[in-house]
Amino acid sequence: MLEISDLEVRYDTEHGEVHAVNGLSVDLAENETLGLVGESGCGKTTTAKSLIRLLESNCTIAGGSVELDGRDLTDLSLKELKREVRWSEISMIPQNAMNGFDPVYTVGEQIVEVVQAHESDTSKGEARERARELFEKLGIDGDRIDDYPHQFSGGMAQRAMVALALALDPKVILADEPTTALDVVIQDRLLDVIQDLQDEMDVAMLLITHDMSVVSERCDNIAVMYGGRIVEYADAETIIKSPRHPYTLGLRNSFPDITEDSQDLISIPGAPPTLVDPDEMCQFAPRCPFAEEECWEVAPEPVEYGDGHRVECHRADEVEYLRSEAEKHETWTELESTETDDELTETEVKND
Amino acid sequence: MTERKIQVRDVKKHFPVDDGALSNLFGFGEDQSVKAVDGVSFDIDEGEAFGIAGESGCGKTTLAETILQLEEPTDGEITIDGRDVTEMDKGEINALRSDVQIIQQDPYQSLNPRFTVVQWVQEPLDIHDIGPKDERRETVRETLAEVGLRPPENYMDEYTSELSGGERQRVGIARAIVSNPSFVVCDEPVSMLDVSIRASILRLLDDLRTEKGISFMYISHDLSLLKHVCDRIGIMYLGRFVETGPSTQVINDPQHPYTQALVSSTPIINPDVERDRIELSGEVPDPIDLPSGCRFAPRCPEASEECREGEPRMYDVAADQRSRCILHDDQYDLSS
């Protein structure tokens, strides 16, 4: 239903051109939940925002296509996109609902406004009734549509945001860390409610999060993003249980598992790339304990490993070795110490 | 035999509620207070890591602030190394401040961006006048190397605003340990950091604990994290502990219905493990208007009439594990 192909999104900054999204391709089927995971700065929020062009002024879509039911959204003018796509076809739940609502209007007024802006023949009364129904489905008393955002608790406000996102019966919801600011009990219930409504209304969801346990439980498929690209893609179980990309292995092994009594958690050394005019290479190579010469010189092409499992890594064939080594935290810290040694020698040389 | 480091006995911190000028003037407002911390007791041994878990608003941060003497307790006793801190004079409290430190949640807001790394880390030494002045820079250099900012020369004169999140948190840790404290409170020390670098910060803190014998108190809502770093934990609900014990045991085999609900709401990364989920109704009630009887009863799936009558005591449920629930009472078991 939603097909993103070779998407390129760039920021024009004083340091140069930042290739925030750098040739990203992924599909989303009807009613599917796709998890998009990765560190801050990997381009996951930019990807979501570029679909409905909620981009900052120095940011442009430089290439690729975003097809929704066969129509390329990148061909639309911003005006057309706002009228025909935003909210009605693709809507967004931001990380913090309090920032998503205008504090001076009641939540109901804001839902009515969005509905009427897109459906000129819907009366105010009908729009209000729809808002009430959605509130009830989300487990909020319908009368509370007349409350102001500040009268809601964090969990309630996030539910109200879900109501707004679903008000125009969209095909896709982009959920950017929708539960990160919430307590675990409230997070769990909200994800349940969203999942139920998603099934009932037949909506697909792009769930952006850094929480591997949430995507493991809630998503059909998972796309792991690094340096503006999807470096590994597969169904959720494959990504969690048998990943091939060293970055996915690192992420997986850095995440504490509440069912384990003792764990050797790893840390991925270094920092994500700035993506300013990036070189032609594997962007993960500087932080990868398995990087070889080729990784620094050639960007890996995506390789298929059956059932839609797609990996961009020169060494993905050596999976047994990668998996056993990536479990040990020394594998990752040794890399850190060799780097530091290099720096030390450099300083020593300078001092001499 | 390890020594007892911190002893907290029945500590309370209540904040008065201001009803506004009119009620104060005419005196018709009730004397109300927010019972943020309402009778908490626990011990932390030397070199031990104790964790406090609970939802936002349960009072865990206020409890930490009270122990650190940033808030004066309304009632109760806090002893550090056998000395009651609630009875210390200003000079003694000041001396205590170099021995008891905090590592804060947000490395982007807890560091002053106008300070260079060396200024920021050296400040506690200057304030408490620790060590000769001309050696302090060297102390800072050594501390930076110790927290993994290597080589320290590359960091000393950088502004903190130029560092990454992980580096900033290391600077925060350096500042906390530079005065050689024996007790450190960590308030959500990694929640603002990317998952990929959290383990290195946790490992650093744990090395400081084992190598220097520093006692740690971790505050977090993340049970997986607390299980990973803490020896023992306390689960807090509306200002009181509902369950305490060895962290592995409390999380693997929770006894209090609230702990059971918290554990069962935590998502599991392992797709082979199915969660046994317990639904909680409602949200945490207002700490001004506490429910009578068991504080958790209004949300508890197992609550009965008796739960609303009086607040249950802590029951011993297993070795070193205690839970505040009437279900553990033998007499209750007999009658039901």
Domain span holding position A76 = 1-89+173-184+196-352
Q: Prior bond to B246 cis, omega within 30?
A: no
Q: Same structural domain for residues A76 and A21?
A: yes
Angstrom distances, CA of residue A228 to CA of A15, A117, A238, A251: 18, 34, 22, 16
Mean pLDDT of A276-289: 92
Cβ contacts of A240 on chain B, cutoff 8 Å:
269-271
Nearest to A146 by CA among A116, A95, A110: A110
pLDDT at residue B210, rounded to an integer: 93
The pair of structure tokens assigned to A287 is: 């932080």
Does residue A346 register a pLDDT over 60?
no
Residue located via tokens 């909020």: A140
- A83 and A99 share one domain: no
pLDDT bucket at B336, cuts 50 / 70 / 90:
very low
Res B281 pLDDT > 80: no
Question: What pLDDT does B165 receive?
Answer: 84
Average pLDDT over residues A219-233: 96
How many angstroms separate the CA atoms of A176 and A48, rounded? 8
Find where tokens 């104790």 sit: B50
Using the predicted structure, report yes or no on whether residue A232 has a pLDDT greater than 70: yes
Q: Cα–Cα–Cα angle for A250, A252, A258, nearest 5°? A: 135
Question: What is the structure's pLDDT at A18?
Answer: 92
Average pLDDT over residues A294-323: 94
Residue B263 has pLDDT above 70, yes or no: yes
* Percent above pLDDT 90 for chain B: 60
Looking at the complex, report in whole angstroms how far the Cα of residue A51 sits from the nearest Cα belonging to chain B.
Answer: 25
Among A126-140, A333-347, B213-227, which is the least confidently predicted range? A333-347
Separation of first and last alpha carbons in chain A: 63
- Residue B246's DSSP bridge partners are B232
Handedness of CA A280, A285, A287, A293 (dihedral sign): negative
Average pLDDT of B313-331? 91
Question: H/E element holding A320?
Answer: helix A319-326
- pLDDT recorded at residue B26: 62
Q: Residues A236, A254: one domain?
A: yes
The CATH number linked to B68 is 3.40.50.300
Q: Looking at the complex, does the CB of residue A212 fall below 8 Å from at least one CB of chain B?
A: yes
B278 interfacial to chain A (CB closer than 8 Å): no
- CATH label of the domain that carries residue A10: 3.40.50.300
The predicted-structure confidence for A181-192, as pLDDT tens digits, reads as follows 788 888 898 899
Domain that holds residue B177: 4-15+33-247
Report residue A156 CA to chain centroid gap: 23
- The predicted pLDDT at position A335 comes to 62
Average pLDDT, chain B: 89
**Domain for residue A256, yes or no?**
yes
Query: What pLDDT is attached to residue B23?
Result: 61
Residue written as token pair 């990668």:
A322
Model confidence band, residue B332 (pLDDT cutoffs 50, 70, 90): low
B273 burial type by CB count under 10 A (0-12 exposed, 13-18 middle, 19+ buried): exposed
Do A80 and A106 lie in one domain? The reply is no
Residue A190 lies in a domain: no
Q: Is B274 on the interface with A (CB under 8 A)?
A: no
Q: What is the pLDDT of residue A344?
A: 41
pLDDT digits (tens, 9 = 90+) for A196-221: 999 999 999 999 998 999 999 999 99
Structural domains of chain A, count: 2
Q: What is the pLDDT of residue B105?
A: 83
**Two tokens at B297?**
């009863």
The strand pair at B240-246 and B232-237 is best described as antiparallel
Residue B3 has pLDDT above 80, yes or no: no
CA distance B110 to chain A (A): 19
Chain A nearest-CA residue for B154 = A347
- Local structure of B229: helix, strand or coil: helix
- Whether residues A156 and A131 share a domain: the answer is yes
- Percentage of residues of chain A with pLDDT beyond 70: 95
The answer to whether position B159 is within a domain reads yes
Whether A265 and chain B come into contact, CB under 8 Å, resolves to yes
For chain A, strand residue ranges (E) read 2-13, 16-28, 33-37, 59-68, 71-72, 90-93, 172-176, 204-209, 221-226, 229-235, 303-304, 310-311
CA B222 – CA B269 distance, rounded (Å): 14
Q: Is residue A191 part of a domain?
A: no
The pLDDT assigned to A184 comes to 87
Percentage of chain B with pLDDT > 70?
94
Shared-domain flag, residues A346 and A250: yes
Specify whether A258 is located in the same domain as A213.
yes
Residue A230 is inside which H or E element, if any?
strand A229-235
Please state at what angle helix A124-137 crosses helix A184-201, rounded to 10 degrees.
Answer: 120
Helix H or strand E encompassing B210: helix B195-212
Q: Which residues of A touch B228 (CB under 8 A)?
A: 256, 263, 265
Among A171, A4, A204, which residue's Cα sits nearest to residue A90? A171
- Interchain contact B282–A (C-beta under 8 A): no
Question: Which residues of chain B neighbour A258 with C-beta distances below 8 Å?
Answer: 223-224, 227, 251, 263, 266, 268
Give the pLDDT mean for B55-84. Answer: 91
| Total tally of structural domains belonging to chain B | 1
Q: Do residues B247 and B228 lie in contact, with contact meaning Cβ atoms separated by under 8 Å?
A: no
